[in-house]
Structure 1
Amino acid sequence: MDLLKKYDHLYFIVGRTLLGLYFIVPGLSKVYDFMGTLALMRMKGVPLSSALLPLTIVLQVLGGIFLILGRSLRPTALMLFGLTIIINIYIHDFWALAGDSGQAHETQNFVKNLAIAAGLLVLATKDKR
């Protein structure tokens, strides 16, 4: 058991890095397909999509970088938690797809994002600064 505990710091860095990448990559993909993402947000009924898309990009990219660097972990993790929940409700609305072939996929994305949100809450408890 002590051997595993010896690497706790490494596990923490790897975990933060993977969570950070989880936000950076989608943030950058929104930049590369800005109009497509904006169209999706409008189709899903996201209010103020034109203003919220650039804000989402900034929050995802900078939030991901902060997670990787281990800076301001608590506020960053809590902010990304809130963002993930909001995105989940608007974009992965599996309940609106009853009978649609995409319902299973959106259900999977919804539950996966709940797990990511849970991980962010756990991470928020680890900020020692």
Structure 2
Amino acid sequence: MNTLLLTAGRVLLALYFLIPGIMKFVSWDMHIQLMEKHDMPFVSLLLGLAGIFQIGAAALLIANRFTWLVALLLVGLVLVINVSLHDFWNYSGLEGAHEMQNFIKNLGILAGLLILSGYSIPERFKAMS
């Protein structure tokens, strides 16, 4: 049962990155506008890199390869996205509430990634902690 639950959680986390990764290319202009609205630099380059990274990371999570490392790298991505694109402190009203909801939701995703990384870290690294 433990393996089934961990596998289901890992695959669901992977889908959380796979689908948005694909959508970055499908809805390119919409994502460019979103990033520009938040005054991000190098939007085309960063959007392309984020999409490729999300798709690749999701594939590795689904395949259960380098899971601990991929999960930690995705933690970094979530942190950057949270601070850059879900900056609720810069908005008020409904838009501010929506950004705060996304920010807090992403903290939950971040927690799941940290737990996944901790559970999947190789034994040779566990001895170092």
Please indicate, yes or no, whether the TM-score normalized by the shorter chain is above 0.5: yes
Alignment of 1:9-20 (within 5 A): 9-20=3-14
Whole-angstrom distance in 1 between the partners of 2:9 and 2:119: 12
Match of 1:114 in 2: 107
Match of 2:25 in 1: 31
4+ runs of 1 displaced by more than 4 Å?
A: none
Whole-angstrom distance in 2 between the partners of 1:18 and 1:127: 16
Per-residue deviation, 1:104: 1.2
Whole-angstrom distance in 1 between the partners of 2:41 and 2:72: 22
Residue 59 in structure 1 maps to residue 41 in structure 2: no
Alignment of 1:1-129 (within 5 A): 7-98=1-92, 100-129=93-122
Unaligned runs of 5+ in 2: 123-129
Per-residue deviation, 1:127: 2.0
2:63 is aligned with what amino acid?
L
Match of 1:3 in 2: none
| SS of residue matched to 1:125 | helix
Whole-angstrom distance in 2 between the partners of 1:64 and 1:50: 21
Per-residue deviation, 1:102: 1.3
Whole-angstrom distance in 2 between the partners of 1:16 and 1:68: 7
Sequence identity, in percent?
39
Per-residue deviation, 1:44: 0.5
TM-score by length of 2: 0.90
Whole-angstrom distance in 2 between the partners of 1:48 and 1:126: 35
Per-residue deviation, 1:128: 4.5
TM-score by length of 1: 0.90
1:118 is aligned with what amino acid?
A
Q: How many positions carry a matched residue from both structures?
A: 122
Whole-angstrom distance in 1 between the partners of 2:121 and 2:40: 36
Unaligned runs of 5+ in 1: 1-6
The CA deviation string for residues 11-39 of structure 1, in whole angstroms up to 9 with x for no partner, is 01100010000000111111111111012
